Amino acid sequence: MSLSKSALKHQVPLQTPERLERGRQAAPQVFERLREAILSLELTPGTTLSRTTLAAQFGVSSTPIRDALMRLEEEGLVDVFPQHATVVSPIDLTLAQQAHFLRRSLELEIVRSLALNPDTRLVARLKGIVAQQQALMEANDLQAFEAADQDFHRHLYEAAQMHDLWLLVRSRSGHIDRLRRLYLPTPGKIEGIVRHHKLIVQAIADGKPDEAQQHLRDHLSGTLSHVGEISARYPGYVRQ
């Protein structure tokens, strides 16, 4: 793999200074914040990440920066060119498709199990998150809306006592999450997410596992079917 000249042109710092929490190791915090910046597209594909700049920005030595970048490389979110540069990777469609397959396979079984044994407390929590999403949609707060979307799905895993699988899915979802973030502003997309969430919750509450699974399939099928459109709108962001 060679480093293109165009990649070196984009050395964009994070928008706000980052100070870490005392009492927690630095490397995991740097990793979490850089990962979030990449997934939110604050750091776009092709952005060069300078270890020196990041160390100054986070107020740490080079070691936590190196460790964080190694973890990002393991998730395929950065490309490391030894002795040269670290660059935010393009969205890899193969990895996005694999993450989608993993998530869909797990969540189909999860919503089925939850609908077979409806829990009124879970239903109430999910309805609360959907109401929050509705408000965020009306406020056009895409970043908070996306965070609430992740919260909705995390609650499904935790209700099914599958928290470790949620962590696995999150660690594999960087590429599909970036695709979703690019497609999120498309007219009707957010409304569709809220509608599907409402339908999934209602099917769980009504004890209808087949309906819960169908609504989940519909919910998770949208973004990958629009890859061509996304690639055309954001040239250079996606690689086959």
Query: Between β-strands 238-239 and 91-92, what pairing exists: parallel, antiparallel or unpaired?
Result: parallel
Query: What pLDDT shows up at residue 7?
Result: 40
Query: Between β-strands 85-88 and 78-81, what pairing exists: parallel, antiparallel or unpaired?
Result: antiparallel
153-178 tens-digit pLDDT:
999 999 999 999 999 999 999 999 99
Mean pLDDT of the chain: 91
**60 close to 16: Cβ distance less than 8 angstroms:** no
85-116 tens-digit pLDDT:
899 999 999 999 999 999 999 999 999 999 99
Q: Point out which residues pair with 87 in neighbouring strands.
A: 48, 79
User: Cα 232 to chain center, whole Å?
Assistant: 21
**Residue 202: which residues within 8 A CB-CB, separation 6 or more?**
none
Block residue for tokens 């965020």: 136
Other beta carbons within 10 Å of 16: 8
pTM for the complete prediction? Answer: 0.87
What is d(CA 115, CA 209) in angstroms, rounded to the nearest whole number?
5
**Residue 146: which residues within 8 A CB-CB, separation 6 or more?**
40, 180, 181, 184
Whose CA is closest to 76, among 91, 60, 56, 98? 91
**164 close to 65: Cβ distance less than 8 angstroms:** no
What is d(CA 191, CA 208) in angstroms, rounded to the nearest whole number?
23
Query: What pLDDT shows up at residue 10?
Result: 52
Residues of the chain above pLDDT 70, percent: 92
- Please give the domain boundaries of the chain with CATH numbers for all domains: 5-89 (1.10.10.10), 92-239 (1.20.120.530)
